[in-house]
Structure formats: structure tokens, C-alpha cells
Structure 1
Amino acid sequence: MTDYPTRDELDDQYTWDLTRLYETPADWARAAAELESRLETLHDHQQPTDSPAALAAALESIESVLVAKSRLTLYAQLHRNEHPTDEKRRDRHSRGQRLAASVDEAVRGLQRRIQRDAASVRAFRKEGDDALDGWHAYLDDLLAQAPHTRDADTESVVSAFAPVIETQTDTIAAIKTGDFDPPTVEASDGDPIAIDHGTYREALENPDRSVRRRAHTAYIDALADHDHALAAALTEKVRAHAALAAVRNYESVRELALAAPSYPDTGMHTSFTEAAHDAVLENVRDHLEAYHGLLESRRDLLGVETLRRWDERVPVGPDDADAPEITFEELCDHLLAAVEPLGADYRNRLESMLDERRIDVYPTARKRTDIPAYCPSSPDAGPFVLANFREDVRTAFYLAHELGHAMHIECMRASQPPRYVNSPRPISEVPSLVHELLLADHLREEGRPELVPFVRERRAQFLAGNVYGAGESATFLHEVYRTAESGTDLTPDRLSELYADIAAEFRAPVTPPEGDTAAATRGAPWRQQAYTRDPYHNYQYVTGTVAAVSAVRRLQSGALSAEAYLEFLRHTGRRESSTSFDALGVDVTAAEPYERVASALESVRAARLG
């Protein structure tokens, strides 16, 4: 095991305060029991379309139980993340998932009664009755979902099997965390390093190439011990989602995923077409030349004849420069200064949030460390951030990224009712990438001089990673889902072949290991994909990044005001995704925003070689 401190060894200011949600697990259990009893009240709305007032009351009941569900599942998720293998926490999380499925079933029953009388609902809307003020966008979304809402018996079966559908996700997580035995490699000084999911990324930034090679090889080989279990779990996950798509009257998992509930779940849905998804991936592939140029400049600066997978993350700053450290306090000061272009209210709210113990800052013993950071939230309780901050530039930007998500939720909470405090997937990464871009610009101008070359490289990494890395993953996972939906098993060899072909296109300057071009070796990194995430999640990083680059450029030129950007943040929960992008002046299906990213990467390449 990696030698992390325990939670008790950290100062409280570096751990989150879950009493903001519930004082104790016993309080959570009481709230769960109360929500279970409240579900019966949804059945009281037998005639929800009798009048505008009856409809408004039914909608308020839906909103109330979904918000309560969100708070309960958030606590169970966060508490489990502190110690994922603890049985009591796992049991609480499982109970929360079962309760969430029951809530969803009861909500759909009431929604179905509303959808059955769509004509009355539209008539009430047209009349403009005051009782429905604030519900119009919600009703539009609800009626649009009518073709995918099933009869009561079918919904009951779907609800019963919802936890089963997610079982394979838990299996994949267990393979990559609880069942993963971190290999040990020798560091430059001869000391051993345990390579887990967190230290792997850190090891790939080691200036000693032999350490990077050993870490990469050992990590991939350790994952290979679970190849067949991982491939089988992935196959079952895809098939489960394919079955759900069929039940919900979707043609494919992709169509289902592109219309998934927004997050947090308040009843609103994402709206992104398959044609738009295709256009995003096509645009990424059409602009690969800039990414290839960036990789080639990395090869030249490292002075290596061939670029390998273990060379892709190491900073290519000055030869004699050690990677600088950055403390949590220093990062907070820089981030507060960086967001000043977004206005005093935004900056002050961020400062308040940093003081509210909503962030679990450092990796600790038994904590979930397979991800660098993420930001789950609830419409009423707000956001929390799980981070694994290592006081370096890379994880500083991860934390800034998640705080962008947190501020998005806070902006909506301050201006919208809970039903509209959600983020549709296509635009969900815009606020987080705006944070990263503003922080990069600030540190290059105002940060310590030794930070500047590392910040430049980090900026290149998150632009390239979120557009081309995520584009590669989105392309690969699309092929994975298409393959499995066709009835073909996802064997380790087949997954390797799929990934190898796509990696050869996206990472053309990266050379496979010497003398071995077998797909099983070239495609070995298939094991590292984020299979625990929802299907088709990757494209959001592409759309979010290209939109953020354009938005920051327009903010800096004055074409987009800070207030207009804040209005975008406040209203994403009640707008269709395309409308939200329009508010930023960006079309993510067109070539122009991808050309801007390519131009930014070309500038980095020129600076490297200049």
C-alpha cells in the first residue's frame, strides 16, 4: 500500500465537513427512512392535470423528493469515498442506490400521469397561469421525455434492476482499487515506489526516463492480471445499458446517453444529438495535425529518438529546473486573483466556499485515490470536492478545475430554484476549463518565475488531453459500445485491437515498444480507460474545452462581458445545450473553435522550439 497519512493526522481545514449534509450516519438513516415514507405522497396526485394549481403541486412534490434523494446519495457517496472498502459505508451506499431507484420509479409514475394529458398541460402553459410560473422549461423537458417513459409494470422492473445495472461499474471499480495490488519499482535514488492509480501519474512526470518506463510497464502489467475480469465486467455493463436503452425506446446506448438526466438529477435532461456527437469527433480528427506537432516537439525537446507512452506527461521545462511545489494556501490565493475578471461577486463567493470545508484536499490512507479529483453536488446542499492534491502544478490545476464545477453549482443555487440547479453534460466542463485557463494566464503573468514553464506545459496538457485525449477515448468507447451492442464479446484481445487502431491514428508520433507491434502490446492502455464513468461521458471534455477557449478569448477581448458569462452559468440548468453555447457565441459542431485550440497548441510548440 502507498504510505499516505490517515485522516486523523490532517488538520481539519484540509478535510471536508460532511456535517453540512448530516450530523451523523444515524441522521442519514433517519432521513432515508423519512424519504421512503414520503414516496407514498406522490401517489396522492392522482389527477395532476385537473388544474394549473394541481399540476404545480405535483411538480413541487417531484422536485422535493428528487432534491432529498440527491442529498442522501451525495452523503453516502462522499462518506464511502473516505474508505471505499469499509462494509458499513458500502452498505449505506447500496441502500442509497436502492432508495434512489425507488424514488425514480415513484417520480416516473407521477410524470407518466402528467404526460398522459399533454394537451391540458400545454393549454395551462398557454394560459399563463401564475401557478406555473417558473415551470415552463421543466414542463417542456418533461413532455419531451414522454416517448421514453414506460408503463407502470415496466418502470417497476427497471427500478428493481437499476442497482443491478450499476453492479458491473462497482465490479470495475473494485478491480482497479480494492483488488489492485500496486507494483513496486525502483526510483532514481534506489528507493522503492508503490505505483497505484495516483502515484502512476506522478511517476510519469519523473525526469528519469528509466523510472517512467518502469512505472508505466509495471502498472500496465499489474492491470493485465485482471484482464479477463475487467473485459467481462465491461461487456456486461454495456449489455445492461443496451437493454435499458431498448426498454426506454432508444435505438442505442449512445442515443440514451445523449439524453441522460443532467447532474445533479432534478428531472431535467441533456439534449445533444447523435449528429452533433459525430460532428464533434470528426472535428477532433480533422485537427490532429496540431496534436501530432505537439508530440513531435516533445520528442525533440526530450532528446529521444522515439517517443513512448511513458514520455507523454513529463514536463519539458528547463533542463536544470526541479518541478516547483505549490501549497494549498498559495493555490487558493492565485485562483482568487485569477478569477477577478469574472467580477467581485464571483471572486468573493469562491473565497467563501474555500473557507467552508467543502474540499477533501489531500490523499489519505484508505481514501479513494484512483481519480485526481471530482466534484459531486446536491441542488440544496451544494458542491463538495474530493481531491488528491500533491502540492504540484498538475494537481493544482485539477483542483482549480473541480472548483470551476463547484462555482457553477453555486451560481445556479444563488439564482435558480432547485429544479434548475443542474448541468447538462455538453456544457458541464466549460466552467471548469475556464478556471484552468484563467489560472494558467494568471500564473504566467504573476506567478513565481520557476512556475512559468511548468504552467505553460500544464496548459498544453489540459488542452491536448481534454480535446485529443478525450476525443481518442470517446472514439474508442463509441467503438466498444457499438461492438458489444452488435452481440460481440469484448475480449481482452479485441479491446486491445480496437484501442491500438485508434491510438495509431491519434498518437501517430508515439512509437510502440521495440520490436513488438502486436495489437496486444500496442493496445494495452485500453485497461486505463474510465469504465466506471457513465457511458459516452468523454465528449463533454471536448465540447467544454473548445467552448472554454473561445469564451476566455471573448472575455479578454471584451466581446463577452463578465456579466454575460455569469448569466450563462446561472441559466444552463433551464436551457437546451445548443442555446447555452449560443450564449457564449460558440458552435461546438463547427470547425472554428477546434481551430482555436489547434492554434493554441501550435503556439506552445513554437515556444518550446523557439
Structure 2
Amino acid sequence: MTSKNEILERKDIPKEKKWDIESMFADFSEWEKSYNNAKEMAKNFESYKEKVVSSSENLYNVLNDMGDLYRITEHLYSYAHMKLDEDTREGNSQALSDKGLGLYVEVGEKTSYVVPEILTLDLATLEKYYEEKPELKLYKKHIDDIMRQKEHVLSAREESILAQMGEVANSPQKIFSMLNNADIKFPTIKDEEGKDVEVTHGNFIPLMESKDRDVRKRAFEALYTTYKGFKNTFAASLNGDLKKNIFNATVRNYKSSREASLDQNNVSLSVYDNLIKSIHNNLDSMYKYMTIRKRALGVEELHMYDLYTPIVKDVDLKIPYEEGVELVKKALVPLGGEYMEAVEEGFSSRWIDVYENRGKRSGAYSGGSYDSKPFILLNYHDTLDNVFTVAHELGHSIHSYFTRKTQPYIYGDYSIFVAEVASTANEALLMDYMLKNVKDKNEKLYLLNHYLESFRTTVFRQTMFAEFEKTINEYLEDGGALTADYLCETYKKINELYYGPDVVVDDEIAMEWARIPHFYYNYYVFQYATGYSAAVALSEKILEEGKPAVDRYINFLKSGSSDYPLNVLKAAGVDMTTEEPVNNAMKLFSKLVDEMDKLI
């Protein structure tokens, strides 16, 4: 659409390549009217205080009205942040986003008494309420989930104190963010053309992908040497954040912060442990991939700064958006008629904001609310990666589309544990289609390299992160001191284990823990690896079994949070409580490694 260096203003992007945000609110004044209505609803909600469980009628009305309040708040905030993402320079949109976020906080405060009051109910009274008010059964799973965690919920007074401490408790994460994003500055190095370029968070990976090994080495050393200068501050902020999680787990009667985190989705510790065990049992495939990379790059020693540069040279795939769309459509045909109808609707009904414009938020995401289209933000630039991004975000959006069409609002979303499954399954189907149809040997190698890197960064690397997170938390919980030296030593050892004998694990990589924001997310990263493994398993079943697997998969997409994530996945054909899904994903990885070995 545009030349490589030309970035248009928002107004110059064709309407059909912009999302249909007007279908949410025609203008700001309509948003304001809905916002004022939500404020009034939040104020009126206080009338239920100390009466939530006084009768079956009251309990039903409280849950209904709370759902309505959150539903309108979600719609308002979704519009506000999407409007800001269109052009982050726009002052009115900034104000709208701030108001939307403020409303969320206010609604949370106004409804905070509901769960503690529900927890005062005994099971006999609850059963009586279901008989008296059959409509209340809609909320049974929701109430069961609240009651399931009863022993971990404190008194109303104690919960209030913990809530008030929220801002203070988030200080370590804020300190990390400010140091990492605002204060830390990296040196200037020479690029491929001998020009000065300052290393930044944004250009570090492109520099690591450089064909010039000296550039890669200079960027690698510049980044991690700088982090080393702040190692004690980074260690102190991470230590503070982990101690906060341990404190919260302890006061809520959990045995560990890991148990507390996983319990939110009713996921057992064995799922986490099985992931690490399965990856350990399949590290030989990773070692072989590193051997191939070393051979392909023609280096005597393979260093950590050699891991991101493409193995296959001189393949420059340019895929315009319309061409990328057709590729994605062809690849997703195995998902059947109902799925493809949703795909066609997505591309024809302006779900997607396609191109970059000045001021637009970077990256890509799937968004929207329960009452809107499942919108997609892209910044499309004619690359293979961008085609996979289209498939990925479309997977998220169609998951949301089916969930919202099928489930009532209370179950109209899905848990983080399954969030990456539908998106990654689409990527797997796209890769399968492209590998089956590619003719050129170099292009096939390029695709294999892309797929193997996806495995390396999403399954192996995220599992490595998960193991590091588990190790340092357990060390802290056992009374250990989380010093910078301990963190560096532990992180370097785990890299040596995961990358194997053919990789020189440079001393600088010992500081990588300091730049990973996910270590402040309290046992989040393992879900990337489990989600990817589940997606690979489901996509293989779809290709092998056809309609029975497709039917199960569509039901999975429609389930939302009507059941726990492990149960929803099991019904789709993947049991994440066993090692089988990860082991099967590893079999595919091993097969792809062998294929690349023959071609190089």
C-alpha cells in the first residue's frame, strides 16, 4: 500500500482497511452518555451492601446487576483504549482512556463486598436458593468457583487492608519498569554500514538478527554489560516482587506462591512440573537443532548472539496484505464451514485495522468487548511474520466471536491458560499449508527455520523461564537470599542445560533475567509453552481426524469460561494433566529438525 519508508496519517488510510470502531459508539458524546449511566449504576450498586445473600432473589439480582455493570464498563474501556491506539498523540483519546480505566477501578471498589458476602453462605442455604430461584443456576459455576477458594479468602476487613496495600505492593514492578524502560540507556555501536546506532529495547532483536556477526556481538555485549551495571538494583526489585507474592500466598493459606497463582485457574502443580519434565526429556532435539545452526552459519563456536540470525540467507518473501489474507484463508479450510464463515465475516466486516499510521500503537492484538466485533489491531508490512500475525490474531478473535455468541456474559471470556491455543493452532495450520505447497528449497528451509524458532522461543525458552522462576521462588521460600550473584549463576546454569554442548553460553547472558518483565507476572510464562503444545496437538488432530476433531475444537472455542480450562481442553481432545501433549509437540519439533538436517 505504501513505500517502505512512507507512514501515512490516520485520515489517509482507506476506510475499508480500518476497524469499524463507530459500531461501538458513533462519537465521543455517545460514549460520555454511556459513561455517565455506568457511573450512576455503580453508585446505585452500593444499595446491595450487607444484603447480597439475604434471599435467593437478592443474590440473583446482585449477580445480574454486577454483570450488567461490568459489561457496560468493559465496552466503554475497550472503545477508549482502541480509540487511543489509533493515534496515541490524540489528547481527547488520552483523556477518554484515563476515564475508562478510572471507571474500572471505581466499579471494582463499589462491588468489592460481593464475594466476601457470598462466602458467608453455607451449602445447604445455597441449594435451597437454587430451588427457590431456578434462574440462579446460571451462576452456579461462578458461585462454585468462589466457594472453591473459600479457605483462601480473608475477612472483609483483612481483604480491605490488602486491597488498600495494592499500590504499595506493586512498587517493585513499577521500579523495574521505570529503570528498564525510562532510565537505562545503552551504548552506541557501529552497524553493518559503519554508522553509529544506539542500542535500544526496540532495535536489539533486529540487531541480533543482523547478518554481520560483529554487529550482533557488539549489540549483545553493549546491552548486557549495561544491565550488569545495575544488577543489584534489578535483583532488589525482583526480590521485593517475589516476596510480595510469597506474603500474599502465605496469608491466604497457600503452601507456595506457585500454588496460589495456579489455583486461580484451578490448575494443578503437576501440569507445571510435567511441562518441565517433558522438555528435559526432549532436550536432545534442541541440542541437534543447535548443531545444525552452528553448521549452517559456518562458525567454529556458536555463541548466544548467534541464536536469532536467520540460518537461511537471501530469502526475501514479500507478501502484500491481500495475498496474505488469501494464504490464511486457504490454510484454515480444514477447520470447516462454520469456522470459515466467521473468517469471511472478519475480513469483510472491518474487524481489522490493517496498516501502520503515524501515532498508532505498535504491535498487534485482538480486542473488543462482549458487545462489539472481536477487533484486531495490526501494523502490516508485507513480511512472512506479519502473515503469521494475521493468522494468530484471527485465531484469538474467532475464539472470542464463538465464545461471545454462545455464552452468557458471565462466561463470555476465556482464561489466560487457554488464551494462546486458538491463535497458535491457526499458525500451525498456516505453517502446515505453506510447507506442503512450497516449491523452492530455500523457501522451504526458511519456513522450517521460522517454525523451529517459534518452538525454540515459545516452548523451550518459556519453559526455561518457568523453571528459573520456580527455582528462585523455592530458594526464597526456603530462606535463601536472592542476590544478584545467585540470580546470575542460576540463570547461566539453566541456559547451559537448555542449549547444550554446542553453544558457548557467554557470561553476559547471565544478566538476561534482569530484562524479562514476565518474571514480575507471578508464574505466567509456563502458559505460553502449555498453550503452544495444546495448539500443536489440536491442529494435528484436526488434520488427521477431520470432522470429529473439528467439531470438538469448535465446541472448545464456544466454551468460554463455562468450565475450568483443563476440562475445556480435555473435551477438545487434549489432556494437559498428562505429559502426552508436550511430548507430541516435541515429536513434531524433532521431525522438523531432522527435515532441516537433510536439506542443509
Q: TM range, normalised to the smaller chain?
A: 0.7 to 0.9
Sort the Cα spacing of 1:490 and 1:434 in 2 relative to 1 into closer, same or farther, 3 A: same
**What's the TM-score, normalizing by structure 2?**
0.86
**Equivalent of 1:311 in 299, 306, 316:** 306
Distance in 2 separating the partners of 1:239 and 1:25 = 43
Over residues 361-401 of structure 1, what are the superposed CA-to-partner deviations in whole Å (9 max), with x where a residue is unaligned?
556666655xx544345333354444454432234324422
> Aligned residue for 2:528?
541
Equivalent pair of 2:130/2:136 in contact (CA under 8 Å): no
User: Deviation of residue 16 (structure 1)?
Assistant: 5.0
> Aligned residue for 1:265?
none
Matches within 5 A, 1:268-347: 270-317=265-312, 319=313, 321-347=314-340
Distance in 1 separating the partners of 2:106 and 2:231 = 34
Matches within 5 A, 1:218-229: 218-224=222-228, 227-229=231-233
1:435 paired with 2:426, answer: yes
- Say which SS state the counterpart of residue 531 (structure 1) adopts: helix
Task: Count matched residues.
Answer: 591
Distance in 2 separating the partners of 1:4 and 1:478 = 46
> Aligned residue for 1:263?
none
Over residues 340-368 of structure 1, what are the superposed CA-to-partner deviations in whole Å (9 max), with x where a residue is unaligned?
11122322323333455554555666665
**What's the TM-score, normalizing by structure 1?**
0.85
- Say which SS state the counterpart of residue 414 (structure 1) adopts: helix
Equivalent pair of 1:101/1:162 in contact (CA under 8 Å): no
Sort the Cα spacing of 1:331 and 1:505 in 2 relative to 1 into closer, same or farther, 3 A: same
User: Deviation of residue 493 (structure 1)?
Assistant: 3.2
Over residues 84-143 of structure 1, what are the superposed CA-to-partner deviations in whole Å (9 max), with x where a residue is unaligned?
799987776666555434433433412222221232554147638531243232222222
Equivalent pair of 1:437/1:552 in contact (CA under 8 Å): yes
Sort the Cα spacing of 1:533 and 1:69 in 2 relative to 1 into closer, same or farther, 3 A: farther
Distance in 2 separating the partners of 1:99 and 1:51 = 29
> Aligned residue for 1:154?
158
> Aligned residue for 2:574?
586
Sort the Cα spacing of 1:608 and 1:451 in 2 relative to 1 into closer, same or farther, 3 A: closer
1:238 paired with 2:233, answer: no
Letter in 2 for 1:543: T
- Say which SS state the counterpart of residue 248 (structure 2) adopts: helix
Sort the Cα spacing of 1:386 and 1:155 in 2 relative to 1 into closer, same or farther, 3 A: farther
Sort the Cα spacing of 1:148 and 1:185 in 2 relative to 1 into closer, same or farther, 3 A: same
- Say which SS state the counterpart of residue 380 (structure 1) adopts: coil
Distance in 1 separating the partners of 2:182 and 2:344 = 36
Sort the Cα spacing of 1:37 and 1:147 in 2 relative to 1 into closer, same or farther, 3 A: farther
Equivalent pair of 1:53/1:131 in contact (CA under 8 Å): no
User: Deviation of residue 440 (structure 1)?
Assistant: 0.4
Equivalent pair of 2:275/2:579 in contact (CA under 8 Å): no
- Say which SS state the counterpart of residue 43 (structure 1) adopts: helix
**Equivalent of 1:497 in 489, 511, 523:** 489
Sort the Cα spacing of 1:238 and 1:25 in 2 relative to 1 into closer, same or farther, 3 A: farther
User: Deviation of residue 223 (structure 1)?
Assistant: 4.7
Sort the Cα spacing of 1:202 and 1:223 in 2 relative to 1 into closer, same or farther, 3 A: same
- Say which SS state the counterpart of residue 271 (structure 1) adopts: coil
Equivalent pair of 2:188/2:196 in contact (CA under 8 Å): yes
1:60 paired with 2:48, answer: no
Distance in 2 separating the partners of 1:293 and 1:21 = 51
Q: Which has the larger radius of gyration?
A: 2
Sort the Cα spacing of 1:171 and 1:400 in 2 relative to 1 into closer, same or farther, 3 A: farther
- Say which SS state the counterpart of residue 135 (structure 1) adopts: helix
**Equivalent of 1:414 in 405, 419, 425:** 405
User: Deviation of residue 500 (structure 1)?
Assistant: 0.9
Distance in 2 separating the partners of 1:48 and 1:176 = 45
Equivalent pair of 1:294/1:601 in contact (CA under 8 Å): no
User: Deviation of residue 437 (structure 1)?
Assistant: 0.2
Structure 1, unaligned runs of 5 or more? 261-269
1:43 paired with 2:75, answer: no
Hey, which of these two has a bigger chunk of helix by percent? 2
Equivalent pair of 1:175/1:226 in contact (CA under 8 Å): no
Equivalent pair of 1:283/1:594 in contact (CA under 8 Å): yes
Equivalent pair of 1:464/1:601 in contact (CA under 8 Å): no
Letter in 1 for 2:593: R
Letter in 2 for 1:400: A
Structure 2, unaligned runs of 5 or more? none
Sort the Cα spacing of 1:189 and 1:14 in 2 relative to 1 into closer, same or farther, 3 A: farther
Sort the Cα spacing of 1:441 and 1:155 in 2 relative to 1 into closer, same or farther, 3 A: same
Matches within 5 A, 1:100-111: 100-111=104-115
Which deviates further from its counterpart, 502-511 or 483-492? 483-492
User: Deviation of residue 461 (structure 1)?
Assistant: 1.6
User: Deviation of residue 154 (structure 1)?
Assistant: 2.6
User: Deviation of residue 246 (structure 1)?
Assistant: 3.8
Over residues 457-492 of structure 1, what are the superposed CA-to-partner deviations in whole Å (9 max), with x where a residue is unaligned?
211122232221110111112234344556666444
Distance in 2 separating the partners of 1:492 and 1:78 = 39
Distance in 2 separating the partners of 1:88 and 1:494 = 48
Letter in 2 for 1:271: N
Distance in 2 separating the partners of 1:307 and 1:469 = 17
- Say which SS state the counterpart of residue 557 (structure 1) adopts: helix
Distance in 2 separating the partners of 1:356 and 1:532 = 39
Letter in 2 for 1:274: L
Sort the Cα spacing of 1:198 and 1:454 in 2 relative to 1 into closer, same or farther, 3 A: farther
Over residues 156-213 of structure 1, what are the superposed CA-to-partner deviations in whole Å (9 max), with x where a residue is unaligned?
3333333444454444344444445465543334455554434333333333323333
Distance in 1 separating the partners of 2:356 and 2:561 = 32
1:11 paired with 2:6, answer: no
User: Deviation of residue 566 (structure 1)?
Assistant: 0.4
- Say which SS state the counterpart of residue 323 (structure 1) adopts: coil
Equivalent pair of 1:283/1:590 in contact (CA under 8 Å): no
